[in-house]
């Protein structure tokens, strides 16, 4: 212990004989000089403290021969510069302190920065050193200063040597010049070995860096490289050859390629050099003998193979060939490409409720393949059975507890490196909902808007729903529940009076609080009250007259025109549906007649000021209209009391499937909306009715013009991945989900004239106008089209009649994937399909198809139908199935037949297994299995092909049943989005035999497959059709090839009459339903707002398609 003295100098070998000394403390002296080898002989020294002295300089070998030194403290001295390599021999060093000196952080000190970074990466040595000069770096850690901040300049070659041919005794000059800061040292390499000028007096390094070789000999031949080196780095020239010519010689390698490891993305040179006379030519091949043609491969002037931006494909053997006219030789080497780990699946932060299971997905790739390791807060995972790392790399924690909360890290580990990503697990405690604001009783005037606040807290956060008089309230023009739980009732009428209940639910339970809403009606009459009774009588007469005329035309004779076929195809057969549609038509027609009487326009901006229909008709008279039109009479009174049934089976009409919201997803209710409808008058008129109405400065283009200009295509591109069954399953699925109830009349209510001949927008007619110079239609002004029936009173179906809201349409089917296309969407339909003559639970069967020994569908009974339109073809009627559209085209009919057979097959097997079951039990159990099969096919096999991997990931895994999700079909989905399937339809239905060749009757154009069940009976059954669906490529969706001409020019074609156009019908139906424009949905989906078609270039990449849209 020599500290705290006045020592000024440490002389050479001052401690030479103290070979066992372990600690030497010299701090707080006045030392300013330490001579070279002052500490020589201290081979056991572990700690050397020389801080708080006046040391200004150190010799390069001051601390050499101290093999066990662990601590070296030099802080608080006056060191400004430290020679390079001063600490390089201290192999045991664990701590080095150089802070609080006067270090000048210039290029001469960059070596210390690199050394400290090495210490930091290894984790074995802690080092501290700070810059004092220049002032801009003052206080910075030396390790944190970048090479650029040291103001160093790496060497750069300014003049390179050239190859040379020599004979014995010549003098050769290889020129090399370089610049850098500090000035670089020039070193010459011969065949990758540094030349030592002292060993051979023939070699001289001139002051400017030139290498002079005198009296050349054969041993001088080979590759020469100039290397310029300073503390900032080094630079090499390309190798150049000194070729020595004596007598002809065979090639021999001067440098052979060596096995090399390299990281992905780096560049590498496999050196190869040969000598011989004549000079050998160098070529390279891969391990299979193929010449290297990739632009990343370059052969250097010396013969080496330079590979730029190495990829995993470069992993393998490379062969260097050297040849001249004397011989050919080769040498090989392997490149081992190593890739650091990279994450292919990145885990995400998760919030989970206490007691649940959570998965953090994590996966990685690399070469060599990495392993996945997980840590929590930097430590190993708890050693218990609740934490497990699956073979996929996923971390699974079961029965999550509060103490599991925290930060986890997924680490992909290999010998090349480690890649980690942190994630946060937040654990929510379980807390039942507790109200923070309960609703209070309110009294309001009729016609006012009212807001009823309600909010709650809990863990997980509760969801707020409302019910009125025990019936769940759904979002509509009348009611709105915001994210905080506040209920808004707009334009309050007497029907809104009653008791409302606010319900807060989470996974643990629910809490409820109720209030009473009282509505008072002021005295006085409205402008249209005097016209209610005559208008409703007139409306009933007009609607019934038009409906009766339509029914006579459709059902008392064979269909004669494409419009007859379309009308029959869409016309509802269920009496209950007919009555609901009739009531809606009468209700709307009555209001239109009252408006005419009042002589006021009906212009409404539903995005701004609401139109108050109470100002037109008093609530009392609106109720009268509802009663007289039949709307009130057809409200459904639900009875979900048979819990034993509802807990096991679905109802046919979808009611009571969701016991908390029994009408959600049921048949014969309004489609749902995610955006408000867009009508020309804000209430009911479709956009495009008024020819002079402009949108964005232009009239809406005619649907038929859009079809012929953009949609219709004669060119079809076969899909290279999927068959035509993708289309057919989509149509079959659609017929399980939605069908819009059409207008019951095909004639105008005003005068009874048929909509197929009257080209005016007179309800329910909404004709598709034919543009001038149409490529096909020349002798007609319009195509047949009638509007869909409105919901009674429009807006809501369970709580309505005291106010009127924009027109909504009715979904005839249940919204569930429940095989309603096999079993029907009502009890009446299901009983027509069942075989009730025994207790076997079967569906009715038709004739036996002899070739397969299987039964076809039964025939439908009743008047002539669309399947009997041409007596010259066949008098065979339509088949009977759960959806009356089953006969639309033969592929669809084949699918209906297949699934009817599947029900009977399952029912037969169930009866064998359970002979004690009655017919109802067998029927419902088989129906449940069939529905599950359809769900499985849809979600596991069909949707992934439609949405792709990205779309399926966005949809996410199924998390369990949620009664708060409304299963109703969105209007825009049924009317627009799901009709994308029309772009998948081939113009030909292929029919294949057992060897997948064409059957004798041939394939069939689509327009001849409409309503043609006789072709199944007379031309081979359903098997050839099914083989054609799964054995032939589907139609690829190409932006310039949308709907084939069979659909746009030959739909439901009949000789000498105008065929319909499916594309134009789709566009017209969207306007009929008030579907908002595409730009509105972009905003709703948080996409950018667009002003012109060029802004669609990311979505519509084909400029020709964008140009056609502009026209």
> In the annotation, is 735 catalytic?
yes
Q: Tell me how far apart the alpha carbons of residues 866 and 1012 are, in angstroms, rounded to a whole number.
A: 9
Contacts of 569 (CB under 8 A, 6+ apart): 866, 885, 888, 1011, 1052
Q: At what angle do helices 619-629 and 575-598 cross, to 10 degrees?
A: 140
Question: Residue 181: beta bridge partners?
Answer: 153
Contacts of 394 (CB under 8 A, 6+ apart): 359, 360, 361, 362
Vertex 483: Cα angle to 482 and 488 (nearest 5): 15
One-letter-per-residue 3-state SS of 1025-1094? HHHHHHHCEEECCECCECEEHHHHCCECCCCCCCCECHHHHHHHHHHHCCCCCHHHHHHHCCCCCCCCHH
What Å distances lie between residue 728 and 893, 999, 1035, 1060, CA to CA?
A: 10, 20, 11, 21
Contacts of 907 (CB under 8 A, 6+ apart): 840, 841, 842, 922, 923, 926
Q: At what angle do helices 1023-1031 and 890-913 cross, to 10 degrees?
A: 110
Closest CA to 476 of 799, 175, 188, 215: 799
Distance of CA 197 to the CA centre of its chain: 67
- Contact in structure between 290 and 351 (CB atoms under 8 Å): no
Closest CA to 355 of 507, 244, 250: 507
- Contact in structure between 1002 and 991 (CB atoms under 8 Å): yes
Please state the φ and ψ torsions of residue 1033, each to the nearest 5 degrees.
-60, 140
Closest CA to 419 of 364, 378, 369: 364
Closest CA to 986 of 722, 730, 708, 718: 718
Q: At what angle do helices 890-913 and 725-737 cross, to 10 degrees?
A: 70
- Contact in structure between 1061 and 783 (CB atoms under 8 Å): yes
- Contact in structure between 13 and 36 (CB atoms under 8 Å): no
Contacts of 878 (CB under 8 A, 6+ apart): 859, 860, 865, 866, 867, 868, 884, 886, 887, 1011, 1013
Closest CA to 896 of 905, 883, 907, 909: 883
Q: Which of 51, 277, 321, 735 is catalytic?
A: 735
User: 328-345 and 233-236 as β-strands: parallel, antiparallel, unpaired?
Assistant: unpaired
- Contact in structure between 155 and 230 (CB atoms under 8 Å): yes
Q: Which residue is listed with tokens 């005794």?
A: 169
CA dihedral 379, 385, 390, 394 (to 10 degrees): -60
- Which tokens hold the place of 462? 């509760």
Q: Tell me how far apart the alpha carbons of residues 12 and 37 are, in angstroms, rounded to a whole number.
A: 5
Residue 924 annotated as part of some ligand binding site = no
- Contact in structure between 879 and 865 (CB atoms under 8 Å): no
H or E segment to which residue 275 belongs:
strand 273-277
DSSP at 740: B
b/e sequence 539-556, b meaning 16+ C-beta within 10 Å: bbebbbebbebbbebbee
Task: Give catalytic residue positions.
Answer: 735
Which residue numbers belong to the known binding site for heme b?
A: 982
Which residue numbers belong to the known binding site?
A: 982
């Amino acid at each position: 212990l020599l500290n705290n003295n006045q020592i000024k100098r440490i002389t050479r070998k001052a401690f030479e004989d103290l070979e066992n000394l372990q600690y030497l403390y010299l701090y707080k002296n006045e030392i300013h000089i330490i001579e070279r080898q002052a500490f020589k002989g201290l081979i056991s020294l572990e700690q050397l403290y020389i801080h708080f002295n006046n040391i200004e300089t150190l010799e390069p070998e001051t601390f050499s021969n101290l093999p066990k030194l662990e601590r070296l403290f030099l802080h608080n001295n006056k060191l400004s510069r430290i020679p390079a390599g001063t600490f390089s021999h201290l192999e045991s060093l664990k701590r080095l302190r150089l802070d609080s000196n006067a270090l000048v952080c210039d290029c001469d000190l960059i070596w210390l920065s690199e050394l400290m970074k090495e210490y930091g990466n290894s984790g074995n040595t802690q080092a501290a050193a700070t810059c004092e000069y220049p002032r801009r770096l003052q206080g910075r850690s030396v390790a944190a200063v970048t090479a650029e901040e040291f103001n160093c300049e790496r060497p750069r070659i300014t003049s390179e040597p050239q190859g040379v041919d020599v004979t014995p005794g010549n003098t050769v000059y290889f020129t090399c010049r370089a610049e850098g800061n500090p000035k670089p040292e020039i070193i010459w390499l011969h065949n990758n070995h540094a030349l030592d000028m002292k060993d051979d007096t023939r070699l001289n390094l001139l002051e400017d860096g030139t290498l002079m070789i005198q009296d050349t000999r054969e041993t001088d031949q080979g590759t020469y490289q100039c290397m310029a080196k300073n503390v900032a780095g080094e630079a090499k020239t390309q190798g150049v050859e000194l070729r020595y010519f004596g007598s002809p010689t065979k090639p021999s390698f001067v440098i052979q390629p060596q096995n090399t490891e390299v990281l992905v993305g780096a560049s590498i040179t496999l050196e190869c050099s040969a000598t011989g006379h004549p000079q050998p030519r160098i070529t390279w091949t891969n391990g299979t003998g193929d010449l290297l043609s990739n632009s990343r491969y370059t052969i250097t002037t010396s013969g080496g193979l330079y590979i730029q931006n190495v990829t995993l494909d470069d992993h393998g053997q490379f062969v260097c060939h050297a040849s001249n006219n004397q011989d050919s030789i080769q040498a090989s080497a392997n490149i081992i490409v190593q890739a650091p780990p990279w994450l292919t699946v990145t885990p995400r932060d998760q919030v989970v409720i206490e007691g649940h299971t959570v998965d953090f997905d994590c996966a990685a790739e690399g070469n060599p393949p990495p392993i996945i390791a997980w840590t929590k807060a930097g430590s190993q995972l708890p050693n218990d059975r609740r934490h497990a790392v699956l073979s996929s790399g996923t971390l699974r924690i079961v029965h999550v507890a509060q103490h599991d909360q925290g930060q986890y890290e997924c680490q992909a580990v290999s010998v090349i490196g480690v890649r980690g990503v942190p994630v946060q697990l937040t654990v929510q405690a379980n807390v039942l909902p507790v109200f923070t604001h309960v609703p209070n009783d309110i009294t309001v005037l009729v016609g006012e808007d009212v807001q009823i606040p309600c909010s709650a807290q809990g863990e997980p956060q509760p969801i707020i729903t409302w019910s009125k008089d025990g019936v769940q309230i759904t979002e509509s023009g009348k009611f709105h529940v915001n994210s905080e739980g506040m209920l808004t009732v707009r334009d309050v009428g007497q029907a809104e009076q009653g008791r409302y209940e606010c319900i807060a639910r989470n996974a643990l339970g629910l809490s409820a609080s109720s209030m009473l809403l009282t509505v008072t009606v002021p005295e006085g009459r409205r402008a249209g009250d005097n016209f209610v009774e005559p208008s409703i009588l007139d409306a009933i007469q007009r609607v019934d007259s038009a409906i009766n005329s339509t029914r006579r035309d459709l059902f008392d004779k064979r269909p004669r025109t494409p419009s007859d076929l379309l009308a029959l195809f869409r016309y509802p057969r269920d009496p209950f549906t007919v009555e609901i549609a009739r009531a809606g038509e009468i209700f709307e027609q009555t209001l239109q007649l009252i408006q005419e009487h009042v002589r006021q326009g009906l212009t409404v901006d539903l995005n701004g000021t609401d139109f108050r229909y109470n100002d037109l008709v008093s609530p009392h008279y609106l109720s009268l209209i509802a009663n007289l039109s039949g709307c009130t009479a057809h409200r459904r009174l639900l009875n979900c009391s048979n819990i034993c049934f509802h807990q096991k089976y679905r109802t046919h009409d979808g009611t009571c499937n969701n016991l908390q919201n029994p009408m959600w997803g049921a048949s014969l209710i309004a489609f749902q909306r995610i955006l408000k409808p867009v009508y020309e008058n804000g209430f009911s008129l479709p956009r495009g009715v008024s020819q002079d109405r402009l949108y964005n400065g232009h009239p809406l283009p005619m649907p038929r013009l859009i079809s012929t200009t953009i949609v219709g295509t004669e060119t079809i591109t076969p899909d290279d991945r999927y068959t035509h069954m993708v289309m057919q399953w989509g149509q079959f699925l659609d017929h399980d989900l939605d069908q819009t109830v059409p207008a019951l009349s095909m004639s105008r209510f005003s005068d009874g004239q048929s909509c197929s001949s009257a080209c005016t927008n007179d309800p329910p007619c909404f004709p598709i106008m034919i543009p001038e110079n149409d490529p096909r239609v020349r002798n007609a002004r319009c195509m047949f089209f009638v509007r869909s029936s409105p919901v009674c009173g429009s807006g809501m179906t369970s709580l309505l009649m005291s106010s009127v809201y924009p027109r909504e349409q009715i979904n005839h089917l249940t919204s569930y994937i429940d095989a309603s296309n096999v079993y029907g969407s009502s009890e009446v339909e299901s009983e027509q399909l069942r075989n009730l003559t025994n207790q076997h639970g079967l569906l009715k069967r038709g004739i036996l198809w002899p070739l397969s020994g299987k039964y076809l569908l039964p025939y439908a009974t009743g008047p002539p139908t669309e399947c009997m339109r041409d007596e010259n073809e066949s008098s065979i009627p339509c088949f009977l199935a759960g959806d009356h559209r089953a006969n639309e085209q033969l592929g669809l009919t084949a699918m209906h037949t297949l699934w009817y057979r599947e029900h009977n097959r399952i029912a037969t097997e169930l009866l064998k297994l359970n002979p004690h079951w009655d017919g109802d039990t067998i029927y419902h159990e088989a129906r449940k299995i069939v529905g599950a099969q359809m769900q499985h096919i849809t979600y596991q096999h069909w949707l992934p092909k439609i949405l792709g991997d990205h779309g399926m990931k966005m949809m996410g895994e199924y998390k369990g049943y949620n009664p708060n999700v409304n299963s109703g079909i969105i209007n825009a989905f049924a009317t627009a989005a799901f009709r994308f399937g029309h772009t998948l339809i081939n113009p030909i239905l292929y029919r294949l035999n057992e060897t997948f060749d064409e059957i004798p009757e041939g394939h069939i154009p689509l327009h001849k497959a409409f309503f043609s069940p006789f072709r199944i009976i007379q031309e081979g059954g359903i098997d050839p059709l099914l083989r054609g669906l799964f054995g032939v490529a589907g139609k690829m969706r190409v932006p310039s090839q949308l709907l084939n001409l069979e659909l746009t020019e030959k739909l439901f074609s009949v000789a000498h009459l105008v065929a319909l156009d499916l594309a134009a019908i789709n566009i017209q139906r969207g306007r009929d339903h008030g579907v908002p424009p595409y730009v509105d949905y972009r905003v709703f989906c948080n996409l950018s707002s667009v002003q012109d078609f060029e802004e669609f270039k990311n979505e519509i990449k084909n400029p020709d398609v964008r140009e056609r849209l502009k026209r």
